[in-house]
Structure 1
Amino acid sequence: MFNAMSRRLAVAACAMLLAACAATPPQPQARLGLKLAPAALGTSLSVQQHLKVERNGRTDDLDVALQVEPDAVDVVGLAFGQRVLSLHYDGKELSSWRHVMLPAQVRAEDVLEDIQLTIWPTDAVAAGLPAGWRVAEQGRIRTLYLDDAPVMRITYSDAQRWSGTVVLENLRYRYKLTIQFAANAD
Structure 2
Amino acid sequence: MAVKHVMAASMLLALAGCASAPPSAPARLGLKLAPAALGATVSVQQHLRVERAGRIDELDAALEVDATHLDLVGLAFGQRVLSLHYDGKEVTSWRHVMLPAQVRAEDVLEDMQLTLWPREAIAQALPAGWRIEDSGLRRTLLLDGEAVTVIDYSAMPRWSGTVVLDNLRYRYRLTIQNAPESQ
TM-score (norm 2): 0.87
Residue 169 of structure 1 and its aligned partner are, at CA, apart by 0.3
The equivalent residue for 2:103 is 106
The equivalent residue for 2:147 is 150
Separation in 1, partners of 2:43, 2:179: 10
Q: How do 1:4-83 residues align onto structure 2 when only pairs under 5 Å count?
A: 18-24=15-21, 30-83=27-80
Gapped regions of structure 2 (runs ≥ 5) = 1-11
Q: Identify the structure with the greater helix proportion.
A: 1
- Aligned residue for 1:114, secondary structure, equals helix
Residue 39 of structure 1 and its aligned partner are, at CA, apart by 0.2
Which of structures 1 and 2 has the larger relative contact order (alpha carbons within 8 angstroms, sep 6+)?
2
Aligned residue pairs, count: 171
Residue 174 of structure 1 and its aligned partner are, at CA, apart by 1.1
TM-score (norm 1): 0.85
The equivalent residue for 1:122 is 119
Separation in 1, partners of 2:180, 2:84: 20
Separation in 2, partners of 1:42, 1:31: 24
Contact 2:40 2:67 in 1 (8 A): yes
Residue 133 of structure 1 and its aligned partner are, at CA, apart by 0.9
Residue 159 of structure 1 and its aligned partner are, at CA, apart by 2.3
Residue 76 of structure 1 and its aligned partner are, at CA, apart by 0.1
Residue 182 of structure 1 and its aligned partner are, at CA, apart by 3.1
Q: What's the CA shift string for 1:84-128, capped at 9, x where partnerless?
A: 001000000000000112111000011111110001111111111
Separation in 2, partners of 1:18, 1:95: 17
Separation in 2, partners of 1:183, 1:65: 15
Contact 1:25 1:105 in 2 (8 A): no
Q: What's the CA shift string for 1:46-82, capped at 9, x where partnerless?
A: 0001110001111110000000010000000000100
Contact 2:25 2:169 in 1 (8 A): no
Separation in 2, partners of 1:16, 1:130: 26
Q: Indicate yes or no: 2:140 matched with 1:132.
A: no
Residue 160 of structure 1 and its aligned partner are, at CA, apart by 1.3
- Greater CA deviation, 147-156 or 20-29? 20-29
Gapped regions of structure 1 (runs ≥ 5) = 1-14
Q: Percent identity, aligned pairs only?
A: 68
Residue 27 of structure 1 and its aligned partner are, at CA, apart by 7.0
Q: Which has the larger radius of gyration?
A: 1
